Amino acid sequence: MRLLVIASVLTCLLVAVGASAASVPASVQGTFTRHFGIQDFKQAEEAPSGTYTMKITPTLLVWTAGGLGQPVEQIKVSGGTVEVRDKPGSLGRLCATEAWGTYRFKASAKSVTFTKVKDPCTTRGDILGKTWTR
């Protein structure tokens, strides 16, 4: 019973948090992959190469890649752009700052492309600012 109450409270909190920002359009939600090599990282001395997986929900963006842990980003829509930032307290954070990065997006049935408008986090820009395949 106690677990049910806790789960209900957490669900209400998640709904309340998601309701405060515009949700990501369904066309951008889903699971995407992209292969990265060291050339994809402009300023990193040791960037994890390999296949990255990115899952986008209405309010979160979760990365999975060897050597990155599992960074979790908050994501919201603002006009014709998405804004992302490291979720405070998440493990495997990409950025030292909690500032928001802004990206234009274009989605199709097979892919999504993010183009950086501005982002104080270079690593996130190197990863997100590309075309990803569904």
- Tens digits of per-residue pLDDT, 5-18? 222 222 222 232 33
Q: What tokens does 102 get? A: 């802004």
Burial degree of 24 (CB within 10 A; 0-12, 13-18, 19+): buried
Cα–Cα distance measured from residue 20 to residue 125, given in angstroms and rounded to the nearest whole number: 25
Domain 22-133: CATH class, spelled out: mainly beta
The model scores a pTM over 0.85: no
The two beta strands, 50-56 and 72-78, are unpaired
| Residue 126 pLDDT grade (very low, low, confident, very high; cuts 50, 70, 90) | confident
Cα–Cα distance measured from residue 122 to residue 110, given in angstroms and rounded to the nearest whole number: 26
Domain parsing of the chain, residue ranges: 22-133
